[in-house]
């Protein structure tokens, strides 16, 4: 039986969990991709927190797509709550087959979700395809910073539910997709990235991502119902294996931008 990934737990929690770097990283994207007043696609937009952030803070006209209808509904609700319905649109769609013609957007962003598709190269190909010539393609992802055995990398990827690559591998994939002028920025420092993963509070330890109540009254009951006790044991093991890799610098986090020529 398939076991729950860390990404599965995050999605079924129903809790607004942001990506590493939180709003600071997204503000940086807004600046480097110069999205003020532009037409932008947010691929795998999750619960819409960032699409709405760009609309509110950069007056960006933004379309968010996500494969999960519940995420799309949450995004529509979020846009209403944030008063940015006029600048946002959300649709159910697959990042591997974007329902837009070539050259449609001034910039295309995917925050923390290329590595969790079944074909990250195809996802990047699609992002570049729908960007206008001269448009920016921006992603941020987990990166292998130190040598780690290939088998162990595979196991960690399965447990995370997303595949980290080395930085040069991400750059090569971006170039293969048709992006050039690749620019990268290191967001690996725990203080800068992983502690900013919650919207409502700054973490002091990664282990505190979920509160006691969220863990024991929301996530664990749902995991138990869907995967049984083995699911809980597996998820605990995954967290114990993953956390040290960020603390000891084996895994890091990078912002990567390229331009469609």
Ligand X SMILES: C[S@@+](CC[C@H](N)C(=O)[O-])C[C@H]1O[C@@H](n2cnc3c(N)ncnc32)[C@H](O)[C@@H]1O
Residues that bind ligand X (CB under 6 A): 7, 11, 18-19, 44-46, 50, 66-68, 71, 94-96, 111-113, 116-117
SS3 260: strand
Whose Cβ is closer to ligand X: residue 200's or residue 230's? 200
To ligand X, the closest distance from the beta carbon of 22 in angstroms equals 9
DSSP string computed for 22-49: HHHHHHHHHHHTT-TT-EEEEET-TTSH
To ligand X, the closest distance from the beta carbon of 112 in angstroms equals 4
Whose Cβ is closer to ligand X: residue 71's or residue 251's? 71
Whose Cβ is closer to ligand X: residue 71's or residue 173's? 71
DSSP string computed for 75-138: HHHHHHHHT-TTTEEEEE--TTS-SS-TT-EEEEEEES-STTSS-HHHHHHHHHHHEEEEEEEE
The answer to whether 88 and 51 have CB atoms below 8 angstroms apart is: yes
What is the DSSP code (8-state) at residue 241?
Answer: H
To ligand X, the closest distance from the beta carbon of 79 in angstroms equals 14
To ligand X, the closest distance from the beta carbon of 80 in angstroms equals 18
The answer to whether 128 and 137 have CB atoms below 8 angstroms apart is: yes
Whose Cβ is closer to ligand X: residue 11's or residue 169's? 11
User: What are the phi and psi torsion angles at 190 (to 5°)?
Assistant: -55, -40
Residue least distant from ligand X (Cβ): 46
Whose Cβ is closer to ligand X: residue 111's or residue 261's? 111
To ligand X, the closest distance from the beta carbon of 229 in angstroms equals 26
């Amino acid at each position: 039986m398939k076991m729950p990934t860390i990404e599965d737990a995050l999605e079924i929690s129903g809790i607004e969990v942001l990506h590493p770097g939180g709003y600071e990283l997204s503000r940086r994207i807004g600046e480097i991709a110069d999205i003020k007043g532009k037409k932008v696609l947010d691929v795998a937009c999750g619960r819409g927190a960032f699409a709405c952030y760009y609309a509110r803070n950069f007056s960006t006209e933004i379309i968010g797509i996500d494969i999960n209808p519940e995420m799309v509904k949450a995004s529509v609700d979020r846009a209403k709550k944030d008063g940015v319905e006029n600048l946002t649109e959300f649709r159910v769609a697959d990042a591997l087959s974007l329902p837009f013609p070539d050259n449609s957007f001034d910039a295309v962003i995917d925050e923390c979700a290329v590595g969790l598709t079944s074909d990250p190269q195809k996802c990047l190909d699609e992002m570049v395809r729908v960007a206008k010539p001269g448009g920016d393609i921006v992603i941020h992802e987990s990166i292998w910073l130190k040598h780690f055995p290939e088998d162990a990398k595979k196991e960690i990827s399965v447990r995370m539910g997303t595949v980290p690559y080395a930085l040069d591998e991400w750059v090569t994939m971006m170039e293969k997709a048709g992006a050039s002028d690749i620019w990268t920025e290191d967001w690996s420092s725990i203080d800068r990235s992983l502690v900013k993963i919650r919207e409502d509070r700054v973490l002091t330890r990664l282990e505190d991502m979920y509160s006691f109540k969220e863990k024991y009254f929301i996530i664990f009951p749902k995991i138990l119902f869907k995967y049984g006790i083995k699911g809980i044991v597996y998820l605990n093991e995954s967290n114990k294996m993953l956390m040290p890799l960020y603390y000891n610098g084996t895994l890091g986090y990078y912002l990567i931008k390229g331009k469609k020529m």
